[in-house]
Structure 1
């Protein structure tokens, strides 16, 4: 493949990833409305679901939210019965957050038609392609997580170097 062809392919990939990212955000917002949650609350609930047990600090790092915002978010999810908090037996200073599977069952049911459709689509690809896509997504997601953490760090103040008039 020529450099020009590779550049064109990378541009197409970048645009496809942007479209998928935008559609994912819009689809997530629609699902959040459907299940009566704020989109950020639904996404954080999914992070807890995927990790099984997580700390508030880990959620803050993953989301770029402040510790106060994460605490308020966890409070909302706990009031709705979606998560529980418990002290870490190994380190009593840490609080572990876990999903209450019985409470999230209706949300899982709402996602089931999408899961089935995605599974059918993904099954149409050969194993090598699926391995490549899985690697691409895992590495891209980790890069985005690092970018999120970087954005959570306040940018240095910009000094005004213009002279007064």
Structure 2
């Protein structure tokens, strides 16, 4: 009887310890969803920013395509950066997995000119990757950040079109053996 009591207590404690993580994930998912819908509802998009560089690198994989969204070279201090990507204007309800994002489900990141300290959350830049089977992708991107005092929030929306088959921008083929994914031969 004594062992059963401890077992019940242990199960209750493990359930209580698990709940905050689930609640935190649900809150983050709600924030992600609101950002996602703000991108879909937005009707004013940019293709560049005065506050940072935004660019796309594209790579051909076997039967798939990978894009890397790169944000770097900040011109202003950007704290608690949040980035959410919508691929091909896809409805939130039809997503089979979450699209690339930063600052919603993970720790906050800051971009500050001439300041790099990875251990304190100040990288040189940000890279988000996505993989698609489609050769043409339209990315709608929201980049949000706060000022130094974390009082003012800025938000910019971008549309970036990627055509993996267009000849004017050669693809960088990724060799799986060079990436450590191939055989050891």
The normalised TM-score by structure 1 is 0.30
Identify the structure with the greater strand proportion. Answer: 2
Higher relative contact order (CA 8 A, sep 6+): 2
The normalised TM-score by structure 2 is 0.27
